[in-house]
Structure 1
Amino acid sequence: MTDFTTSTAPADVVRRQYLASANRDLEALRATLAPDVEWTEMAGFPLAGTYRTPDGVMERLGADWADWTAHDDVYVADGENVVVLARYTAVNKATGRPIDVRVAHHFIVRAGQIVRFEQFVDTAKVRDAMLA
């Protein structure tokens, strides 16, 4: 049995990314990302856009949301493609309003690193939690 902590299998790399995020371990999270990762947050999401560096996105989420967690539920893997059905939970720091929203994440993993990420989420629910 392969140890997922050292495996380069795409689903294992993505599992390490979720675990690092849940543990607020930015160093371990960045270790799963290629230096030129293409990280896309959905249009309408507070951090909407495409980022081309492993830095920045997680820190910005932490600035606006308390206890931001992506709960990974179901993995569907096909070669270098990994789709994860998950949910976000957090509390907006400015309003005190919580979210609990379903999401889908699409990852592309090559040579043991995430090279591409795309988020799909109900942005209206996230925005509603941000409104005072």
Structure 2
Amino acid sequence: MGLTMTEFATSTAPADVVRRQYLASAAGDLAALRATLAPDVEWTEMAGFPLAGTYRTPDGVTANVMEQLGKEWDGWAAHDDTYVVDGGNVVVLARYTAVNKATGKRIDVRVAHHFVVRGGLIVRFEQFVDTALVRDAMVPDA
């Protein structure tokens, strides 16, 4: 028996917190996404990824990651499909899909995300992705 929507919305279980982050992102609800992040969150986009770096604070994460993706890509989405949970560690296997606004090229790439959840909030995030596939979509054909 699953959680009711109200129970899910307030659950501090690590997988539920992470799932709310994906749902908020998919809905473009940055306020709801920030609500899943700890004040001292460390959010790391992989070296080689267009937005590579570590961002801090919920506002810093959404301003430097989600809002930037929205400027460069149409329909950017992370489709979460498999969760592996070990205490506060949640690893999610997912897929990014989007179309680059400048080139019109589409991406459909596998990705792994590692979240650390404490006290019902995401305190750390690390992205693993084939950055070359993402960057290739950003380069116009000759």
User: TM-score with structure 2 length normalisation?
Assistant: 0.91
Separation in 1, partners of 2:133, 2:57: 27
- The equivalent position to 1:120 in structure 2, one of 128, 133, 138, is 128
Matched residues, percent identical? Answer: 81
Separation in 2, partners of 1:18, 1:41: 16
After TM superposition, list the pairs within 5 Å mapping 1:42-121 onto structure 2: 42-55=46-59, 56=63, 57-121=65-129
- The equivalent position to 1:26 in structure 2, one of 22, 27, 30, is 30
Q: Give the C-alpha shift of residue 63 in structure 1.
A: 0.8
Residue type matched to 1:30 in 2? R
SS in 2 for 1:11: helix
Q: Give the C-alpha shift of residue 65 in structure 1.
A: 0.7
Separation in 2, partners of 1:67, 1:26: 15
Residue type matched to 1:75 in 2? Y
Residue type matched to 2:41 in 1? V
Q: Give the C-alpha shift of residue 54 in structure 1.
A: 1.7
Separation in 2, partners of 1:71, 1:23: 12
Q: Deviations over 1:27-80 (max 9, x none)?
A: 100100011110000000000000112222111111111110000000000100
More helix by share: 2
Unaligned runs of 5+ in 1: none
Residue type matched to 2:69 in 1? L
Output the aligned Cα RMSD. 0.8
User: TM-score with structure 1 length normalisation?
Assistant: 0.97
SS in 2 for 1:101: strand
Separation in 1, partners of 2:45, 2:114: 11
